[in-house]
Structure 1
Amino acid sequence: MDNDKSYKEYLENITTFIFDVDGVLTDGTITVTTNGEMLRRMNIKDGFALKTAVDQGFNVCIISGGSNEGVRKRLRGLGITDIYLGAHHKVDQLDEYLDIYNIKPEQVLYMGDDIPDLPVMKIIGLPCCPQDAVPEIKAVSKYISHKNGGKGAVRDVIEQVLKVHGKWNKNFDAKHD
């Protein structure tokens, strides 16, 4: 991507990750069972990166229009406590979250993939998206991952930020030295 230098300048200021779910943490497909339950698939490598970010002291928040409680359970299992599901006006949840934790918008990396993410992405410091995001989201993103949603895009951005901060695999490297 041509903007490599510009987006990399933001990485050291990032203290907070905020992610959408469908199309970012998942590939955007839903399997509907015969009883109407909607199943999603999440990438285990994205999960590892999310847990690592939490363990290394970064703020991690989820803001999603979806309201699947299975998603909440999975994310809580990774140590994420700030989970806004059923969010149809995501800026409201963003404002609340930033206010609660006294976070400045320029400290936030947000990854979204579709039109409902657009208002939030225009506010925060580092708007990002998966490779398969819609054109409107790509147009406002300072970084477009080479990975698709649900296929490692979340891991991609978390790993880059944590490496800049010297916190990627910190606990694992120490055990093998």
Structure 2
Amino acid sequence: MDIKEKAKKIKLIAMDVDGVLTDGKIILGEKGEEYKNFFAQDGMGINLALEAGLDIAWISGRESKVVEARACQLKVKEVYQGIEDKSRSLTQVVKKHNLSLNQVAYIGDDLNDIPALQRVGLAIAVANAVEEVKKKADFTTKRKGGEGAVREAITLILKAKEGVW
């Protein structure tokens, strides 16, 4: 099955945060406060996906108040942080939305994303993902994590759905 056919079936887009929605850099202030860079076009892509009726889930290995704040801004309701087993969280999200795994896309960048990537209908790696992730992906973005990769992936999915784009 080609990428467009896989993308047509997608109803939920799950993704890692650090290295996918951000450039992976974590800036710490002198009092331990954390800062991250998010790309505005990725935010617009998430808005477009939500408006098109797709569900969005963020599954992060780390915990961060910055991530909570960004999710709130974008109205992303499914946010799982401090997750060691992303595949298990993915299963919870899929059950909650009464979907099958072939209706899910997952966007990842590092080794801890591989178990989730291997289970979904459309596995997506960002351009700067580690090679092991790229080898498991159905599609690798041209753009890097935190630099429009999420928007690129969402655009691919929305364009595959007739009458949505």
Aligned to 1:173: none
Aligned to 1:59: 55
Q: 1:145 aligns with which of 137, 141, 144?
A: 141
The answer to whether 1:12 aligns with 2:8 is yes
User: Offset at 1:38?
Assistant: 2.0
Aligned to 2:164: 167
Quick one: distance in 2 between partners of 1:42 and 1:125? 26
Asked whether the equivalents of residues 8 and 160 of structure 2 are also in contact (C-alpha less than 8 Å), the reply is yes
User: Offset at 1:16?
Assistant: 0.9
Asked whether the equivalents of residues 60 and 82 of structure 2 are also in contact (C-alpha less than 8 Å), the reply is yes
Aligned to 2:71: 75
Aligned to 1:174: none
User: Offset at 1:8?
Assistant: 2.2
Size of the aligned set, in residue pairs, is: 164
Q: 1:86 aligns with which of 82, 89, 95?
A: 82
Q: TM-score, normalization: structure 2?
A: 0.95
Unaligned runs of 5+ in 1: 169-177
Q: 1:117 aligns with which of 110, 113, 136?
A: 113
- % identical equivalent positions: 34
Aligned to 1:33: 29
CA displacement, residues 34-59 of structure 1 (integer Å, 9 cap, x when unaligned)? 11122110000000110111122101
User: Offset at 1:6?
Assistant: 2.5
Structure ID, larger Rg? 1
Q: TM-score, normalization: structure 1?
A: 0.89
SS state of the match for residue 148, structure 1?
A: coil
Which consecutive segments of 4 or more residues in structure 1 shift more than 6 A?
none
SS state of the match for residue 9, structure 1?
A: helix
Quick one: distance in 1 between partners of 2:48 and 2:68? 18
Asked whether the equivalents of residues 123 and 137 of structure 2 are also in contact (C-alpha less than 8 Å), the reply is yes
RMSD: 1.1
User: Offset at 1:61?
Assistant: 0.6
User: Offset at 1:77?
Assistant: 1.5
Asked whether the equivalents of residues 101 and 119 of structure 2 are also in contact (C-alpha less than 8 Å), the reply is yes
SS state of the match for residue 27, structure 1?
A: coil
